[in-house]
A and B are shown apart, each in its own frame.
Chain A
Amino acid sequence: MATVQVSETALSANDAALTTEMTYAEAIRDALKLEMRRDERIFLLGEDIGIYGGAFAVTRGLFEEFGAERVRDTPISEAAIAGAAIGAALTGMRPVAEIQFSDFMALTMDQLVNQAAKIRYMFGGKAKVPLVMRTPLGSGTGAAAQHSQSLEAWFAHVPGLKVVMPSSPADAKGLLIAAIRDDNPVVFFEHKLLYRVKAAVPTGSYVTPLSQSAVKRAGQDVTVVAFSIMVPRALAAAQRLADEGIDVEVIDPRTLRPLDDTPILESVKKTGKVVIVHEAVGSGGFGGEIAARITESDAFHYLDAPVRRLVGAEVPIPFNPNLERAAVPQEDDIVTAVRRLVREGR
């Protein structure tokens, strides 16, 4: 490309009135495709994302449409992938890197944490690093300890990064478009078990703003704060609890950093009870941050019971399917935890 072409497109979901049934993976692919058609500065790089189509088939077909220049297969070199994205982002491109499993983000940590996150601030606000790192996280596939973690809290701890965790196909598409258009480094965590989940997704291009928590289900009795895979589990649990007369409100932060905590605090003030659910290990997990935001705010005075966390067990993810299931909150666990908090106050 000799000169960069950027076309104007609709930015509002209102313009995308029509919807199509598609999976979470297809919605992400749709976002990539629409954005790459709009802006020639956007390109993809990562392992096996070209003709192979990505380990989870998310980029399938993009190589055929955009070619090897813009869908760049890399060697197995995660630090170089991250660094190449940073250098390109600093000099006028808008890279979207794929790290095949989020566990491998450990191999990018210097580039992401010491470089990408800090560059703008330590250069006095005079540079920008508009890049996205897409990466699948989570357990449930039998991939065991090195391919199943939920490490989002590591990244949420770092000023300068943005951390996004979509829970539905429509959110995945709109949030990814927002992430690509954002001028900051964004870590975009896709849950492996969500890839095949199908739902209505607005057609065409639209932005779901970052740092905007969503009320996924309105309720009066108890607040469940959940993100990523825990949102559909919390919604299914809420459906069952409704039959018992417990009216659950489900809040999905969607972006962990910078966190929009207002809808969470408002919900807690309304219900007086809150269960925070995530797959990641509890100690040092993001649920602790949400709990602290609640107890440090005036929402504390509205609490009828202690803040409850329902989180991953303090173990590496095991291989055996029974152990694997037991290591992370399931729908039944959410039902039990919410019921007990409402009925017994603990």
Chain B
Amino acid sequence: MSYLGILDADLPDLLKTMYHIRAFEEKVDELFMQGAIHGTTHLSIGEEAVPTGALHALRSDDYITSTHRGHGHCIAKGADLNLMMAELLGRESGYCRGRGGSMHIADVDAGNIGANGIVGGGIPIAVGVGLSIHMQQQARVCLCFFGDGAANEGTFHEAINLCSIWRLPVIFLCENNQYGMSMSAKLSMHVASVADRAIAYGIPGESVDGNDVFAVHHAVWQAAERARAGQGPTLIEARTYRYKGHSKSDQNRYRTRAEIDDWRARDPIVIFTEVVRARGVLAPGADTQVRANAYADIEAAYAFALASPEPQVADLLEGVYA
């Protein structure tokens, strides 16, 4: 049995992924508040449906490029929560051995080409990954996450144009969370949707409800089918919202409480849970157990990170060159 293109049997796992993302972000938020993590961080609470739906539409050996708000992408790609949390705590056991932190988590061998601290920085790299797939005649695709802010960077234009003329297997997925830091997408673009820009490159463009796992999944699945068939890239906009500020310095002066509440009323996990309940794939009350297990997994990841050693200062210079 399936519903809107997703097998019923897969629904509990997707719910788990969404809770993992939310629990991870909430834990990171808490740790920053306590001063237990240094630096800065960008949380994706409220945006969980986008990576959850998108990655479910792909195969495990497909690639992703990610953004500064990338924890959810990593988790949905199947990252090890322990290694992620260890990275945020700057530990040697982390994905980047404590050298990268929140904005640079990557696992290239597993297909995660990496988060990126530069807005729009990953878009041309995704095209290169697509080129590599094409030249090696692989059946893979590359899913390129970026935000509404990145859609106004020059790299967006250069990269999507290049990808279009070469018909490379890349899916450009814009997470439009309505703000580039404080700048509203309504004020930073003169089009209604980032997807409208697809026409400029002669590729398909589609705007979907980014709080709906099924809508995101369907759009990405279609794009992946096209990409694997040699029909080139697709531009998808997923409309969503971040509940938390841009980063820890954000005081939310540019938006209203009412706006935040409106989006919270359409919470992606609540919406998805209703579908899971309606499909009857979980015993009554079992979704709360999924939630509880996910939060427990994050606590275990935190314990793993705390117990992990810090990098040795003597190793400071190691790893600059191959």
Contacts and interface: CB of A to CB of B under 8 A. Distances in A.
Interface stretch (A49-57, A76-84, A136-144, A164-172): A76-84
B128 A92 contact: no
A87 B161 contact: no
A32 interface: no
B113 A90 contact: yes
A102 to B, nearest CB: 19
Given A110-B121, A160-B321, A124 B129 contact: no
Contacts of B154: 79
Interface stretch (A111-119, A219-227, A245-253, A334-342): A111-119
A83 B136 contact: no
B83 to A, nearest CB: 10
B128 A127 contact: no
Nearest to A45: B131
Contacts of A124: 94-100, 319
Interface string B101-133: 000101111000110111001011111111111
B124 A126 contact: no
Contacts of B155: 79-80, 83, 110-111
A83 B128 contact: yes
Nearest to A125: B319
Nearest to A119: B114
Contacts of B65: 87
Nearest to B92: A124
Nearest to B116: A115
Given A83-B127, A89-B128, A126 B108 contact: yes
A75 B161 contact: yes
B165 A75 contact: yes
B262 interface: no
A43 B98 CA distance: 34
A120 B322 contact: yes
A120 B161 contact: no
A217 to B, nearest CB: 31
A4 interface: yes
A77 to B, nearest CB: 4
Nearest to B87: A124
A126 B96 contact: yes
A111 B137 CA distance: 26
B278 interface: no
Interface in A134-162: 159-160, 162
Given A1-B137, A83-B124, A122 B100 contact: yes
Interface in A64-99: 69, 72, 74-75, 77-80, 82-93, 95
Interface string B127-160: 1111111011100001000000000001100110
B59 to A, nearest CB: 15
A114 B119 CA distance: 11
Instruction: Give the interface size bracket for A toward B.
Output: 35 or more
Contact of B131 (A84, A122, A128, A258): A84
A330 interface: no
Nearest to B165: A75
A121 B320 contact: yes
B106 A82 contact: no
Interface string B279-322: 00000000000000000000000000000000000000011111
B63 interface: yes
B104 A122 contact: yes
B162 interface: yes
Nearest to B101: A122
A179 to B, nearest CB: 13
Contacts of B162: 74-75, 77, 80, 84
A184 B319 CA distance: 11
Given A79-B158, A123-B104, A128-B322, A88 B94 contact: no
A92 B96 contact: no
Contacts of A119: 106, 114
Contact of B159 (A72, A83, A90, A121): A83
Contacts of A110: 118, 121, 155
A87 B106 contact: no
B106 A127 contact: yes
Interface of B: 63, 65, 94-100, 104, 106-109, 113-114, 116-118, 121, 123-133, 135-137, 142, 154-155, 158-159, 161-162, 165-166, 318-322
24 contacts: A75-B162, A79-B124, A79-B155, A84-B131, A86-B124, A86-B125, A87-B126, A87-B127, A87-B132, A87-B142, A90-B125, A90-B128, A91-B63, A91-B129, A93-B136, A110-B155, A122-B96, A122-B104, A123-B100, A125-B318, A126-B107, A160-B320, A160-B321, A182-B322
Given A79-B159, A123-B99, 20 more contacts: A1-B136, A43-B135, A75-B165, A86-B125, A87-B124, A87-B126, A87-B128, A88-B132, A89-B128, A90-B108, A91-B63, A91-B113, A93-B135, A114-B118, A114-B121, A119-B106, A124-B95, A124-B100, A129-B322, A184-B322
